[in-house]
Amino acid sequence: MLVQQLTSKHETGYIGTNGVRWKDNFIKTGNTTSGPDLLYKYMQIFYNDAIKNVSMETSSEAFFYGRLMNLKYDIAMVTNITSDHMNTHKTLDNYIRCKKMLIEATKDDGYVVLNKDDKHYEEMKAIVHSNLITFGQDESSNIVIKDISLTPTSSSFKILFRDLDNNPLLSKYNNQEVKVDSPLLAIFNIYNLTEAMIASLLLGYPLDDVVCNVIGIKADGRMEVLEHNGYHIIVDFAHTEGAIRNILTFANSVNHNKIYVITGAAGGKDHTKMPKIGKVLYELADFSILTMDNPRFEEVEDICNEIIGDQPRDKFKIIVDRDEAIRYALSIAQPGDLLLFLGKSNEGVQYIKGEKIPYDEWEHIKKNFI
């Protein structure tokens, strides 16, 4: 979605977690990556409406289930590798194998963009058969991220282009350094944004235009922030150990009083991640309020107790009803605190006992403002 905003919604279509978007049109979808019948339908719509580029989130599950067979990519981007969808993949090796399918499906004359700071970088690099572009804080990267500054409401950083003499699309920026001011929060969004900027440049959009477009971008459902009564509320879709760790690492890096987390875990999914999430919460948050997040046919209290696992219970409180959990969190917040509402964001529903119940996180937060 960032690539679409950095280029042009009139020239780039988006398919992913936040639906299908092009020009001023929107189609809601059920999966991050739809099946081939819908994907080809969306692409035909894009083509008929003069859309030149498609920016698509390709999930590991989509590769696992064969939804992306026969598609070839001009640009493939892998930001980092963390375990996810273990209910499907069972092991990290299986998950990585599916992630590698994106690189393998990139055109020979296309580009693979890899994060050189990621611990799986060498493993991913080994299978690249296309043009490779690297980025990261590692000073040997082609695009170096430096001078990072984070606040509870924004971020800024610089990117340095280097060792790009042999790249016909990026060589003109070689040895240039530019400052980027972003409304997106946290270091992981700096990586996401840098990657999207590289893709935009590879599509032929000028650097000055791309940098200027950054200030107006918005990642729906991701690190949305609001200040209220002297404390900051952050809403994000994070529901894995790695994503929650990233957000809490950010929260601890900025000025704050206490960090409160309101979250849960989905029923009928990967139970092995639950105690891992609890460990991260205990280590990095001051207090966590555990509540419902798509319990399906499981009991919310059982899920919450699985999250706590072997951790001491003094930093946890279980409140089954999410609206009540929100109300409690807002009642104890003090100026300078950070309240992190994680897991639901703009998902729009709660799955409870076979029912699909409409749910809007921001609506429930704002109606409980004190």
Predicted confidence (pLDDT) per residue in 303-319, tens digit: 999 999 999 999 999 99
User: What superfamily would CATH give domain 224-367?
Assistant: Mur ligase, C-terminal domain (3.90.190.20)
Output the CA torsion sign for 199, 201, 204, 210: positive
Q: Are 21 and 28 in contact (CB under 8 A)?
A: no
Q: Reduced to 3 states, what is the DSSP secondary structure of residue 220?
A: coil
Domain 2-214 CATH assignment equals 3.40.1190.10: yes
Spatial separation of the C-alpha atoms in residues 260 and 238, rounded to whole Å: 15
- Whether the per-residue pLDDT at 86 is higher than 90: the answer is no
The full set of domain ranges for the chain reads: 2-214, 224-367
181: pLDDT strictly greater than 70 = yes
pLDDT tens, 269-280? Answer: 888 899 999 999
How many other C-beta atoms can be found within 10 angstroms of the C-beta atom of residue 307? 25
Q: How high is the mean pLDDT of the chain?
A: 92
Rounded (to 5) percent helix, strand, coil in the chain: 35, 25, 40
Helix axes 273-284, 300-308, angle to 10 degrees: 60
pLDDT at 346: 84
Please name which of 299, 295, 302, 263 lies closest in space to residue 280, comparing C-alpha atoms.
Answer: 263
Read off the pLDDT band of 90 (50, 70, 90): low
Least confident of 77-81, 99-103, 145-149, 261-265: 77-81
Percent of the chain whose predicted confidence (pLDDT) is above 70: 97
- Tell whether the model's pLDDT for residue 222 goes beyond 80: yes
Q: How far apart are the first and last CA of the chain?
A: 34
Residue 279 to residue 261: CA distance in whole angstroms: 13
122, pLDDT greater than 90? yes
